[in-house]
């Protein structure tokens, strides 16, 4: 009964959480599809395709 009595408040919070759930789910699903596709293509991006621009100048304070 306690839970039922507070459903009104729960409903409000779910409405705040809904955008997070929707955006999070869509992006997670998109990332998963890409991961699966990369795995199917061997997933190796090659020696000359760096993921990271290791520019030492950017390490400065």
Mask for 22-61, x = binds other proteins (CB under 8 A) = xxx--xx-xxx--x--x----xxx-x-xxxxxxx--xxxx
C-alpha distances (whole Å) from 57 to each of 41, 51, 52 are: 34, 17, 14
Residue 21 touching other proteins (CB under 8 A): yes
Q: How open is the CA angle 55-56-61, to the nearest 5 degrees?
A: 120
Sign of the CA dihedral running 43, 49, 54, 57:
negative
Shortest distance in whole angstroms from residue 46 CB to other proteins: 9
Task: By CB under 8 A, name the binding residues for other proteins.
Answer: 6, 9-10, 12-24, 27-28, 30-32, 35, 38, 43-45, 47, 49-55, 58-61
């Amino acid at each position: 009964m306690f839970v039922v009595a507070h459903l009104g408040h729960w409903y409000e919070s779910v409405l705040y959480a809904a955008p997070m759930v929707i955006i999070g789910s869509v992006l997670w699903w998109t990332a998963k599809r890409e991961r699966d596709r990369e795995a199917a293509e061997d997933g190796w991006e090659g020696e000359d395709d760096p993921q990271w621009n290791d520019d030492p100048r950017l390490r400065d304070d």
